[in-house]
Amino acid sequence: MLEYGDSTMTSQQTIGRYEVLEELGHGAMGTVYRAKDPAMDRIVALKTIRSEILSGQQGGEFRERFYREARAAGALAHPGIVPVFDVGEHDGMPFLVMEFIKGRTLADAARSGERLPLERVCEIAQQIAEALGYAHSKGVVHRDIKAANILLTSRESYGIERPKITDFGVAKLASVQITTTGQMLGTPAFMPPEQFSGGPIDGRTDLFALGVILYWLATGEYPFPGENLMTISYKVMHTEPVPPRKLNPAVPEALNRVILKCLAKSPADRYQTGEELAREIATLRAAGMGAATRPAVAVAAAARASSTDPQATLDPSSASAMSRPQFDEEPPIVPPVMATAVGTKKENLVLMLVLLALVIALGGLYVLQKREPASGAASTAAVPTANAPAPAA
């Protein structure tokens, strides 16, 4: 039996004409399977959409929008975007069929503790920005850009490891339902102020999320960390992130400015298109990254794991999502941090404590030496004070 959402599939293990081979994962939106398309004799990724997302009084309208969004996503043809092959329904359950990409997500790469030089980080960001610029020019906004939605192609299978954005046409579908019911869907750690406030959404929303990914890969931290939705939303809307260079001095000043511009509170202050951001990163890379070619240092998961997963999408089925958010059951992501000349925070603290202890020890030794009687002198001889007259020559 194959499960998806809160329902159970029949034992025939097919969805439409597609033969289900295995479950790849599931979350707030639905379940992803590896399946076979017998008509085309190829392996595909099939994503089911939880039926309750398209249910209710406006279920018909939601289904119409679902197909419209799926068709728009299916029209996208870019090397940085996973193509949509088909869309349909099975026993009232909507589904999307996409290219099956051999590889892993950017989140998986980070979880494994892989070391990424800043040059590679910038290359990935530039390619994602180019793909987003193309999608936005076609009128398609993703709305849930995060490391878990960025696939990295297998170098063994494709000859190159390049990022591909997946799940186009899915997030907007859910956001329509969320807007109508007064809830919200998205990944809080990657959402800009306008997504929390209900403001207009456009391509600059995706560029903010890409800025979060850049910040995360360059520093190993999230720009707006928090253990719950209320904390994260307050920071996103009212506080400025710590400049990346303060967390990792290896980050060049030019890259520091690029990241902070992506994370601007107002969409008008961000890059206006993906192409503009991609050109800026390309210029930065052409100028040379300097220390950015140094490898990253993996961080122990046990020391950095949080109680909630920053990559997890809010569950739209929760009526109290604003006060009690539900997250996908995905293990916490532990991103890599880049090497710096001064090391990690923990290493710096230990070094400072060692130096302080050494200073105290040397000071104590100095005082003891001063108090010891000189050879041939009385043990009660006083140490001259700063105000005492100098002895006669």
The helix or strand, by DSSP H or E, that contains position 94, with its residue range, turns out to be strand 93-99
According to the model, what pLDDT value does residue 315 have?
42
According to the model, what pLDDT value does residue 67 have?
83
According to the model, what pLDDT value does residue 66 have?
78
| Rg of the chain, C-alpha, whole Å | 28
According to the model, what pLDDT value does residue 30 have?
80
Beta bridge partners of 21: none
According to the model, what pLDDT value does residue 168 have?
83
According to the model, what pLDDT value does residue 324 have?
28
* 3-class secondary structure, 364: helix
From the candidates 37, 144, 167, 309, give the one annotated as an active-site residue. 144
pTM: 0.72
Residues of the chain under the 70 pLDDT cut? 1-12, 28, 53-54, 56-59, 169-186, 290-393
Do residues 76 and 70 touch, judged by C-beta distance below 8 A? no
* Span 140-156, pLDDT tens digits: 999 889 999 999 999 99
Report how far apart, in Å, the C-alpha atoms of 84 and of each of 89, 135, 165, 203 are.
Answer: 15, 13, 11, 20
Please state, in angstroms and rounded to a whole number, the distance separating the CA atoms of residues 157 and 257.
36
Please state, in angstroms and rounded to a whole number, the distance separating the CA atoms of residues 98 and 45.
5
Please state, in angstroms and rounded to a whole number, the distance separating the CA atoms of residues 116 and 175.
33
According to the model, what pLDDT value does residue 94 have?
86
Is 167 noted as a catalytic residue in this protein?
no
Please state, in angstroms and rounded to a whole number, the distance separating the CA atoms of residues 209 and 276.
16
